[in-house]
Chains A and B, each alone.
Chain A
Amino acid sequence: MAHDVLDTVVAAETPEGIVLELRPAGLSARFYAFLIDWLVRLLILYAAAIAQAFMGGFGIGFWFVFLFLLEWFYPVVFELSRSGATPGKSMVGIKVVMDNGLPITPAASFTRNLLRVADFLPFLFGAGILSILLRQDSKRLGDLAAATIVVHQPQRPPKLKLDDVVPVAPFKPLAPSDQAALVALAARAPTLTAERLDELAALAATVSGDGGKAGPHVTRRVLGVAQWAMGKRA
């Protein structure tokens, strides 16, 4: 069951009994997002510094309030926007959602960002980093308390492009999971080199009755079975 151990997918069940798959974002993705956000904040700070210079005595007061807001509420404002992500997070392709896959609530966003202080302990986000690395769902302490999770935004997979492949009836009856494996291979075919595709197809060659053989013609027949599983008939 190496698959279960390696995969970090978190399942969230809806009231309709459908399981939504959430893919937690790990340390590296979140570190890059943090870095970008840090730079964005620096830019905003720079712009505000220029603005406050023109405001006279009122300016320094504004400056303090602005520093306070930027320090504590920069992530809250962006997480509550439609995208659910700070600029850094959306550039890396991750966002914050509730444990059950719903958009983050104001209270949860407030909680997880205040508790960043606890994640910072004992120094340089030690507790937060440890928590992200040790937990399967990559939550920091603030995420634990707020019941939120940082996830990768789903990517749109390519549609099957098998128009030129002749459907082949399978050599033996195929279980649904076998069919799924074949179709997944066919979906990946355009992204693989021809040699690698031949290698992988050779592993599945029993389905077209070519067990033990390898080569482009075997690959075409294996992809043909995938085509057949998709409902195409010659």
Chain B
Amino acid sequence: MTPLAFEALYQAEWQELEQLLDRVLKRTTKKFEEPLRGERIAALYRRACEHLALARARSYPAYMLDRLDRLTADAHQVIYQQRGELGGSALWHIVAQDFPRAVRADHVFVWVAAALFILPLLVVGVLVYFQPNLILSVVDASTAAQFEQMYSRSAESIGRAPTAATNWVAFGGYIRNNISIAFQCFASGLAAGVGSIFYLVLNGALIGAVAGYLTERGLSETFYSFVVTHGAFELTAIVLSGAAGLKLGHSLLAPGRRTRRQSLVHAAGECVVIVYGVTAMLVVAAAIEAFWSSSVWVPNAVKYGVASVCWIVVLAYFTRQGRHAA
């Protein structure tokens, strides 16, 4: 069959499919009376696939192959697209099941990341407590003085740099800094896990240094009552983002029976659920830190009470939530 005869024979089907696709992809402003029939698109798509295969095998002219290429590619996109991930029920599914399950499935990475974070925190904390001068090898003198002032008993709102004038400013600052740190901690894990290890140890050591220093200065009461509540979300989230980064690096180093590329794609798909969860946790942490932890009017006993509830909720969430299909 000659190309022109072929085109004349099937032209009508191609045009119908083109019009249907224009409608689905909203490339036309025309109004249509009849309802859109999905099964017609599928049927015409399969026909067009056959025609394309024939046209290629017979080396039909370039313009016709191009038309059929475009037609099948557009129809393929319309028929196979997966865009259901962002709906409300999908997000709820992540919170109720996927996130805690993903964390439990990767508990080895979580424990390793926790160790990489907590050990430097304890070691540096104890060192600075007994040798306060060491704080100067972590931050400069003016920053150390600022920390002291932020957690002093006379501070108007606890744990806040003097530049942050209102709760809202502090909230914005926490969102930007903490979530960026978590994202970096995760993404740099692609470098064989080295980046995640670096960020976990660095943040552990920094927090340890500040804690040790302030404890030695006798400000433990304001400091611990400040960090303990939002710490349930913030510290856990940093550890989890590090764990996701370690998993990413591990998938490259030890791909198992997959190729390195398949292994990376697979691991990234599982990690992204954890990163979703970490992002949400850090938003919660920022809100608590800005509006609750810093308030002077709440008695410390209440703060510790709320904090223990938060820690129990977080730990129970990761150990119990989503064990049974909802």
Q: How many residues of A contact B (CB 8 A)?
A: 57
On whether the beta carbons of A64 and B265 are closer than 8 Å, the reply is no
Render B82-116 as a binary contact track against A, CB cut-off 8 A, 1 for contact: 11011000000000000000000000000000000
Interchain CB contact (< 8 A) of B176 among A16, A67, A179: A67
Instruction: Kindly provide the distance from the CB of A74 to the nearest chain B CB, expressed in whole angstroms.
Output: 14
List the interface of chain A (C-beta within 8 A of B).
14, 16-18, 20-21, 57-58, 60-65, 67-68, 71-72, 80, 82, 101-103, 105-107, 110-111, 114-118, 121, 141, 144-147, 154, 156-160, 175-177, 179-180, 183-184, 187, 229-232
- B49 in the interface, Cβ–Cβ < 8 Å? yes
CA distance A144 to B255 in the complex (A): 14
Interchain CB contact (< 8 A) of B188 among A68, A121, A144, A230: A121
- B248 in the interface, Cβ–Cβ < 8 Å? yes
- B312 in the interface, Cβ–Cβ < 8 Å? no
On whether the beta carbons of B49 and A17 are closer than 8 Å, the reply is yes
- B298 in the interface, Cβ–Cβ < 8 Å? no
CB contacts (< 8 Å) of A14 on chain B: these are 49, 72, 76, 80
Task: Provide a sorted-by-A list of 26 A–B residue pairs whose CB atoms are within 8 angstroms.
Answer: A18-B72, A20-B69, A21-B69, A57-B165, A60-B168, A61-B170, A61-B172, A62-B172, A64-B169, A64-B172, A65-B172, A68-B176, A82-B25, A101-B73, A102-B76, A102-B82, A117-B183, A144-B261, A145-B265, A154-B70, A176-B57, A187-B61, A229-B61, A230-B3, A230-B61, A231-B3
CB contacts (< 8 Å) of A62 on chain B: these are 168, 172
- A-B pairs with lowest CB-CB distance, top 5: A231-B4, A64-B172, A176-B59, A231-B2, A61-B168
CA distance A198 to B220 in the complex (A): 89
List the interface of chain B (C-beta within 8 A of A).
2-7, 25-26, 45-46, 49, 52-53, 57-63, 66, 69-70, 72-73, 76-77, 80-83, 85-86, 165-173, 175-176, 179-180, 183-184, 186-191, 195, 248, 261, 264-265, 267-269, 271-272, 275-276
Known contacts A121-B188, A187-B61: does B180 contact A72 (CB below 8 Å)?
yes
Known contacts A157-B66, A231-B5: does B184 contact A144 (CB below 8 Å)?
no
Instruction: Kindly provide the distance from the CB of B25 to the nearest chain A CB, expressed in whole angstroms.
Output: 8
Q: Give the dominant DSSP class at B's interface.
A: helix
CA distance A156 to B63 in the complex (A): 9
Instruction: Kindly provide the distance from the CB of B268 to the nearest chain A CB, expressed in whole angstroms.
Output: 4
CA distance A105 to B265 in the complex (A): 14
7 further A-B pairs in the complex, CB-CB below 8 A; given A64-B175, A115-B268, A145-B265 = A57-B168, A58-B166, A60-B172, A62-B172, A110-B272, A114-B183, A114-B187
On whether the beta carbons of A232 and B59 are closer than 8 Å, the reply is no
On whether the beta carbons of A72 and B85 are closer than 8 Å, the reply is no
Known contacts A118-B195, A145-B248: does B168 contact A58 (CB below 8 Å)?
yes
CB contacts (< 8 Å) of A106 on chain B: these are 83, 85-86
Chain B residue, CB-CB nearest to A64: B172
Known contacts A57-B165, A57-B166, A180-B61: does B183 contact A72 (CB below 8 Å)?
yes
On whether the beta carbons of A118 and B190 are closer than 8 Å, the reply is yes
Instruction: Kindly provide the distance from the CB of A144 to the nearest chain B CB, expressed in whole angstroms.
Output: 6
CB contacts (< 8 Å) of B83 on chain A: these are 103, 105-106
CA distance A168 to B104 in the complex (A): 73
On whether the beta carbons of B191 and A145 are closer than 8 Å, the reply is no
CB contacts (< 8 Å) of A179 on chain B: these are 59
Instruction: Kindly provide the distance from the CB of A43 to the nearest chain B CB, expressed in whole angstroms.
Output: 20
